[in-house]
Amino acid sequence: MSEGEKAKVTPLRPRRPCPECGRPSARDTYPFCSVRCKNVDLNRWLSGAYVIPGEDAEDTPDGTPEQD
């Protein structure tokens, strides 16, 4: 491929800042910049540091869910 043809190739995904450190993302570890940042994020999910908020389910004394 010549230099002119390389310039016309569009990337599959736009380069974005790594959500962990802010450096540009890499194709093989997208959206992270490195395997290290990818593993840091995974560890946070597995340790419970990231939590998706929701309502607690409260049961009635007989064990059935409350009806509104």
Binding residues for Zn(2+): 18, 21, 33, 37
Distance CA 68, CA 53 (A): 21
Binding residues: 18, 21, 33, 37
How deeply is 37 buried, as exposed, middle or buried, from its count of CB atoms within 10 A (0-12, 13-18, 19+)? buried
